[in-house]
Amino acid sequence: MAEQLSHRHEPAGSHPGWPARLGPLRVGAGVLEVRKPKLSDAAAWSRVRRRDRRHLEAWEPTAPGEWDNNNAAFAWAGQWSTLRGLARRGMSLPFVITVDGELAGQVTVGNVVRGSLCSAWIGYWVGTHAVGGGVATAAAALVVDHCFADAGLHRLEATVRPENTASIRVLRKLGFRQEGLFRRYLDVAGGWRDHLCFALTTEDIPSGLVPRLVAEGRAEHG
């Protein structure tokens, strides 16, 4: 791929591409970086998640229990351990988004399949304080480029509810193409919801997404 931002790999990775620190990129909201989750993210993660329940709950898979308990600081240790375990087994690439050093959301690449498929799904969420500042688009672009250039993947899929127009705009800006509709695909907000399926392959972006964002003036190298 063409021009790449700094991809600072860390030791003891379990599979190509993780752990890593991606960026920085300057966007409207500030200086953005993407890094592996840390146990010390608990308080900041909980603060954003509990504050933004109405913003997030309608789009995320239904989980047993109460939102405030599931997203309390004490709940982060279990989530962090699960994410780290999946990453170490080569099944996921979990990342945290920061803007000006503060936690702003997450990007997760999951269900990593190697061999002749080399595919995974990508999902993300961004707190209300970072919405509209180009954060979701830039963070996803960093991770997509990293997955194709360094993690050795060929295809990424993203599923989104048809009503989630903001997330659909992000995917379309990144060049994801709509490939179909999954009927009653996931239990979200207490019901089985239809989801649109979007996908992107390495052939679609031979020069990478980040250089495109920079050329379009949507981001600057940090």
Distance CA 192, CA 11 (A): 41
Residue 80 has φ and ψ, to the nearest 5°, of: -60, -45
Phi-psi domain of 217 (left: phi exceeds 0; alpha: psi -120 through 50; beta: other): left
pLDDT for residue 15: 75
Work out whether strand 30-35 and strand 20-27 pair parallel, antiparallel, or are unpaired.
Answer: antiparallel
Domain holding 85, by residue range, is 7-216
* Tally of domains in the chain: 1
Residue 84 falls inside a structural domain: yes
Q: Look at residue 142 and tell me if it is in a domain.
A: yes
**Per-residue model confidence (pLDDT) at position 16:** 86
Residue 40 burial class via C-beta count within 10 angstroms: exposed 0-12, middle 13-18, buried 19 and up: exposed
- Helical spans, DSSP H, in 89-204: 135-149, 165-174
Assigned domain for 145 exists:
yes
Residue 117 domain flag: yes
Cα 61 to Cα 3, 72, 148, 173, 189, distances in angstroms: 36, 17, 27, 24, 7
Question: Side-chain half-sphere of 11: how many Cα atoms within 13 Å?
Answer: 0
Q: CA 138 to CA 147: how far, in whole Å?
A: 14
Q: What per-residue confidence (pLDDT) applies to 208?
A: 96
How do beta strands 177-188 and 30-35 pair? Answer: unpaired
In a domain, 47, yes or no: yes
Is 109 a domain residue?
yes
Distance between alpha carbon 30 and the CA centroid of its chain, in Å?
A: 18
Give the CATH number, domain containing residue 172.
3.40.630.30
Whether residue 49 is contained in a domain is answered as: yes
**Per the domain annotation, does 221 fall within a domain?**
no
Average pLDDT value over all residues in the chain? 92
pTM: 0.92
Q: Which pLDDT score is estimated for 202?
A: 97
The string of pLDDT tens digits covering residues 51-97 is: 999 999 999 999 999 999 999 999 999 999 999 999 999 999 999 99
pLDDT of res. 6: 42
Write out residues in the chain with pLDDT < 70, as ranges. 1-14
